[in-house]
């Protein structure tokens, strides 16, 4: 003979933990509306769950503690997984930032080299211009001196 053969039973773990209290009356559930997957209070069954599949909830305090403990362990496991995932993301971000800094440094050094090359090129051009100007001035002075000597004669 099987006990509870005629009963429609469901695992309490299928009920969300935030549904263990009637949201309207802020009291522990007495009934479970299977249609809504929500716990409810006896007054709510008559008004809000007409025509729904509703079951009286009976469980021992130990079973409730066990359900809550299991739920808390599951949430702790999820939290640890989330923490591990966040740690992994942080590590990847750190690696990406380090690579970006190295790339920035390479670009910076390349720009500095380019600027130095341009600086030296422009300096050389200025030296060339300066030399040509000095040569022209020397030639002009020489002509002036020559002209001055000729005039003095």
Contact by Cβ (8 Å): 34, 10: yes
What is the arithmetic mean of pLDDT over 8-23? 52
pLDDT at 9: 45
Q: How confident is the model at residue 122 (pLDDT cuts 50, 70, 90)?
A: very high
Contact by Cβ (8 Å): 17, 65: no
Which CATH topology does 1-58 take?
A: Double Stranded RNA Binding Domain (3.30.160)
> In the chain, what are the helix, strand and coil shares in percent, each to the nearest 5?
70, 5, 25
Q: At CA 116, angle to CA 112 and CA 117, rounded to 5?
A: 120
Task: Give the length of the chain.
Answer: 153
What is the rounded CA–CA span in Å between residue 23 and residue 39? 8
Q: At CA 47, angle to CA 16 and CA 30, rounded to 5?
A: 40
Phi, psi for residue 29 in degrees, rounded to 5: -70, 150
- pLDDT, tens digit, 9 for 90 and up, residues 49-101: 778 877 776 654 566 677 778 888 998 999 999 999 999 999 999 999 999 99
**3-class secondary-structure state, position 32:** strand
What is the arithmetic mean of pLDDT over 26-31? 68
In a 10 Å sphere around its CB, with 0-12 CB exposed, 13-18 middle and 19+ buried, how is residue 4 labelled? exposed
What is the rounded CA–CA span in Å between residue 48 and residue 3? 31
pLDDT at 58: 64
In a 10 Å sphere around its CB, with 0-12 CB exposed, 13-18 middle and 19+ buried, how is residue 44 labelled? buried
The pTM of the full predicted model, rounded to 2 decimals, is 0.41
pLDDT at 59: 55
């Amino acid at each position: 003979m099987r006990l509870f053969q005629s009963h429609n039973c469901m695992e309490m773990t299928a009920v969300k933990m935030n549904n263990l209290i009637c949201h309207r009356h802020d009291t522990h559930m007495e009934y479970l509306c299977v249609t809504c997957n929500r716990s409810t209070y006896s007054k709510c069954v008559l008004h809000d769950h007409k025509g729904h599949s509703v079951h009286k909830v009976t469980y021992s305090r130990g079973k409730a503690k066990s359900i809550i403990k299991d739920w808390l362990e599951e949430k702790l496991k999820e939290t640890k997984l989330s923490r591990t995932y966040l740690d992994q993301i942080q590590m990847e971000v750190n690696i990406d930032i380090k690579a970006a800094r190295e790339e920035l440094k390479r670009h910076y050094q390349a720009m500095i080299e380019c600027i130095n090359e341009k600086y030296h090129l422009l300096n050389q051009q200025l030296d060339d211009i300066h030399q040509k100007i000095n040569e022209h001035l020397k030639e002009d002075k020489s002509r002036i001196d020559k002209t001055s000597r000729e005039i003095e004669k």
